[in-house]
């Protein structure tokens, strides 16, 4: 009878084109949030990119030689703000060549495998012949696959990692939770979180007494460059709403 009722619920969800998951308890949600806790790591943060979607805060770090961007989208102001001395490697199948003098563009989606439309993340880095100083990933949900695929010999040498995590409202599903949680665990071997910025395109999602944004911008610094870990505060004074003319989303204090 229990399985019969579940099958009816699944069929109704398919009919209405929505999903409800409740496999994960709050202890596991709390463990995932703890991997995102942000700190003052000893650097001033600077804002690069637009004053809305496409703008990110990163630590002001010297000797940035390269930036590998996965998911170019409609703006490359972040990459331009890095300056002409930084070599840029851009990849996105969905856009035209941005035509920046100091950039090499790959018209493919970065992924975990190779074919006519997709290029394996490790093959791409090897092809550029330079390990990223900055790796910026805004892959509309494919970021988890990319993180799982990237070899640790590359990951551990990246100085700054900028991610947009998508679809976090689905983490109450045990399978998606394990994908996200293990991706973050892998990153946290080598990186500390220095900034979080929730996208205000959607309200915070409640899981018991905890809240999680659907989409979240995360900036991480390689632990080799961490000076110290002190308490910080969110939002940062350089933060801007992702969607203008909409109330900013404020993360609860257990994120910092």
Reported residue count of the chain is 256
Supply the pTM of this predicted model: 0.91
Q: Which residues contact 232 (CB under 8 A, 6 or more apart)?
A: 38, 39, 40, 194, 256
Residue 180 lies in a domain: yes
Any idea which residue has 């018209």 for tokens? 107
Does residue 15 fall inside a structural domain? no
Q: Is the pLDDT of residue 19 over 90?
A: no
Measured between alpha carbons, how far is 145 from 111 in angstroms, rounded to an integer? 7
Helices and strands of the chain, counted as H and E runs = 7, 13
Is the confidence at residue 113, as pLDDT, over 90? yes
Widest CA span in the chain: 66
pLDDT bin (cut points 50, 70, 90) of residue 99 is confident
Cβ burial 203-216 (10 Å sphere, 16+ → b, else e): ebeebeeebbbbbb
Write the pLDDT tens digit of every residue in 201-215.
999 999 989 999 999
Query: Is the pLDDT assigned to residue 181 strictly greater than 60?
Result: yes
Domain annotation covers residue 38? yes
Convert 46-94 into a string of H (helix), E (strand) and C (coil): EEECCCCCCCEEEECCCCCCEEEEECCCCCCHHHHHCCCCCEEEEECCC
Closest CA to 56 of 249, 219, 167, 201: 219
Chain mean pLDDT for the chain = 93
Q: Is residue 16 part of a domain?
A: no
> Which pLDDT score is estimated for 23?
75
Query: Under DSSP, is residue 68 helix (H, G, I), strand (E, B) or coil?
Result: strand
- Statement: residue 234 has pLDDT above 80: yes
Q: What is the mean pLDDT of residues 232-241?
A: 97
Domain hosting 108: range is 24-255
- Residues 206 and 11: their CA atoms lie apart, in Å, by 25
Binning pLDDT at 50, 70 and 90, where does residue 74 land? confident
pLDDT of residue 101: 87
Task: Cis check for the bond before 124: say yes or no (omega within 30 of 0).
Answer: no
Residue 63 lies inside a defined structural domain of this protein: yes
Q: What is the pLDDT of residue 2?
A: 61
Number of domains the chain is built from: 1
Backbone phi, then psi, for 254, in 5-degree steps? -75, 0
Closest to 151 in 3D by CA, of 177, 179, 190, 178: 190
Residue with the two structure tokens 């995590």: 165
* End-to-end alpha carbon distance in the chain: 45
Rg (CA), the chain: 19
Domain membership of residue 3 (yes or no) is no
pLDDT band at 118 (very low <50, low <70, confident <90, very high): very high
For residue 82, what is the domain's CATH number? 3.40.50
Is 9 a domain residue?
no
Q: Name the helix (H) or strand (E) containing 106.
A: strand 103-106
Residue 217 lies in a domain: yes
103: which strand partners?
Answer: 88
pLDDT band at 82 (very low <50, low <70, confident <90, very high): very high
215: its two tokens:
């989409």
């Amino acid at each position: 009878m229990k399985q019969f009722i579940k099958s009816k619920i699944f069929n109704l969800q398919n009919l209405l084109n929505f999903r409800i998951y409740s496999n994960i308890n709050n202890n596991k949600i709390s463990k995932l949030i703890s991997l995102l806790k942000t700190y003052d790591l000893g650097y001033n943060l600077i804002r690069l990119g637009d004053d809305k979607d496409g703008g990110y805060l990163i630590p002001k770090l010297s000797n940035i030689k390269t930036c590998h961007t996965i998911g170019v989208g409609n703006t490359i102001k972040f990459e331009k703000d890095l300056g002409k001395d930084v070599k840029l490697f851009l990849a996105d199948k969905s856009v035209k060549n941005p035509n920046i003098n100091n950039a090499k563009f790959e018209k493919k989606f970065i992924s975990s495998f190779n074919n006519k439309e997709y290029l394996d993340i490790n093959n791409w880095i090897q092809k550029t012949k330079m390990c990223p100083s900055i790796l910026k990933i805004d892959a509309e949900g494919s970021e988890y696959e990319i993180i799982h695929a990237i070899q640790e010999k590359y990951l551990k040498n990246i100085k700054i990692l900028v991610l947009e995590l998508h679809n976090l409202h689905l983490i109450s599903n045990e399978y998606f939770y394990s994908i996200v949680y293990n991706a973050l665990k892998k990153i946290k071997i080598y990186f500390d979180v220095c900034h979080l910025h929730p996208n205000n395109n959607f309200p915070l999602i409640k899981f018991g007494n905890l809240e999680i944004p659907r989409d979240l911008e995360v900036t991480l610094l390689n632990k080799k460059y961490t000076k110290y870990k002190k308490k910080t505060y969110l939002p940062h004074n350089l933060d801007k709403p992702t969607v203008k003319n909409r109330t900013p989303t404020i993360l609860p204090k257990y994120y910092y």
